[in-house]
């Protein structure tokens, strides 16, 4: 059975990988959660896709009826607790419904052993196959996905931005100065991609501090400088500028980063990402612990 333990499912997440294998559509979301599409889950269970969509779209009512009550019971037994059983994602520009592996196994178990309204042979056969290994492993292997690949992509995203953005003499940038945070984030499992760009959060907070403390009177003016994104970032389509600061203020920035941003502001940033479904709570906790050692 699935090992996934989930709290509230996010409404929507990007898809990191997608494939159709033996007529079953499957993929992996940006937080490494494996999923089946509506059509994929229906095929696995031997039912019509509308049966699955009706279950998900009316889950609040369905979970009070015999079918939904039994599926919810199975989910609860595996520590999966959420008011939703489906996540929206996008594939080739179209919104699709993604059913996490824990949900898929619960629905499959119901149609294999509890339902009296369908031919259970298809569901039973598929359940037995997947009982020998987790659905997570099955999807990962079927589409050739490895969680390590997301970490490698994170390194590439950060590395490519570093190469694109050189600075004039006498100035520093927030983007380059938070390298320790970004490295720790990637090592802790935070996916650095087009949706998660930590330097924007740090830059906004530091800019506010700069103005509040009137640091321009001490160090001179900050200036706007072009900031480029790799062409695979949506942000690359627009001309972007970022503040860069006089080098004399670097020590003050580092003191602020260590004494104010990391203990007071960064946990709030991570909570926002958790709420958006972009990182799991375990990743946030690991990251905060690692940053205490910097």
Q: What is the pLDDT along the chain (294 residues), one digit of tens a residue?
A: 344 444 578 888 888 889 998 889 999 988 788 999 999 999 999 999 999 999 999 999 999 999 999 999 999 988 888 889 999 998 888 899 999 999 999 999 999 999 876 678 888 888 887 876 678 788 878 877 766 666 656 667 777 888 888 899 999 999 889 888 777 777 766 666 666 667 788 999 999 999 999 999 999 999 999 988 888 787 888 888 999 999 999 999 999 998 998 888 888 887 777 776 666 666 666 666 656 655
Number of alpha carbons in the 13 Å side-chain half-sphere of residue 220: 10
SS3 87: strand
Name residues whose C-beta falls within 8 Å of residue 137's C-beta, 6 or more positions apart in sequence: none
Question: What's the maximum distance between 2 C-alpha atoms anywhere in the chain?
Answer: 77
In DSSP terms, 91 is beta-bridged to: 94
**Residue 266 class from Cβ within 10 Å (0-12 exposed, 13-18 middle, 19+ buried)?**
buried
Q: Where are the domains of the chain?
A: 15-145, 148-291
Name residues whose C-beta falls within 8 Å of residue 285's C-beta, 6 or more positions apart in sequence: none
Report yes or no: 99 and 85 within 8 Å, Cβ to Cβ.
yes
Q: How far apart are CA 153 and CA 151, in angstroms?
A: 5
Identify the CA nearest to 6 among candidates 98, 90, 122, 95: 98
Q: How far apart are CA 132 and CA 77, in angstroms?
A: 19
Q: Is the pTM of this model over 0.75?
A: no
First to last CA, the chain: 39
Q: How far apart are CA 151 and CA 260, in angstroms?
A: 28
Q: How far apart are CA 96 and CA 12, in angstroms?
A: 10
Name residues whose C-beta falls within 8 Å of residue 94's C-beta, 6 or more positions apart in sequence: none
């Amino acid at each position: 059975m699935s090992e996934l333990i989930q709290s509230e499912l996010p409404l929507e997440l990007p898809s990191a990988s997608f494939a159709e294998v033996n007529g079953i559509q499957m993929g992996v979301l940006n937080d490494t959660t494996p999923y089946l599409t509506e059509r994929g889950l229906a095929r696995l269970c031997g039912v019509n896709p509308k049966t699955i969509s009706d279950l998900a779209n009316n889950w609040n009512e369905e979970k009070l009826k015999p079918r939904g009550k039994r599926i919810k019971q199975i989910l609860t037994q595996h520590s999966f607790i959420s008011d939703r059983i489906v996540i929206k994602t996008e594939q080739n520009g179209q919104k699709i419904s993604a059913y996490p592996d824990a949900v898929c196994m619960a629905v499959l178990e119901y149609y294999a052993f509890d339902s009296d309204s369908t031919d259970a042979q298809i569901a039973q056969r598929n359940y037995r196959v997947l009982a020998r290994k987790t659905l997570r492993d099955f999807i990962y292997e079927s589409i050739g996905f490895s969680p390590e690949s997301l970490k490698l992509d994170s390194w590439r995203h950060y590395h490519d931005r570093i190469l694109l953005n050189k600075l004039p003499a006498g100035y520093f940038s927030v983007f380059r100065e938070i390298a320790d945070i970004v490295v720790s984030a990637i090592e802790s499992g935070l996916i650095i991609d087009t949706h998660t760009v930590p330097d924007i959060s740090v830059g906004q907070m530091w800019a506010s501090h700069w103005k509040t403390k009137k640091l321009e009177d001490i160090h001179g003016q900050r200036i706007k400088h072009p900031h480029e994104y790799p062409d695979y970032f949506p942000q690359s389509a627009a001309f972007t500028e970022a503040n860069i600061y006089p080098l004399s203020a670097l020590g003050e920035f580092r003191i602020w980063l260590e004494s104010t941003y990391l203990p007071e502001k960064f946990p709030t940033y991570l909570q926002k990402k958790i709420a958006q479904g972009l990182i799991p709570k375990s990743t946030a906790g690991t990251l905060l612990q690692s940053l205490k050692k910097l």
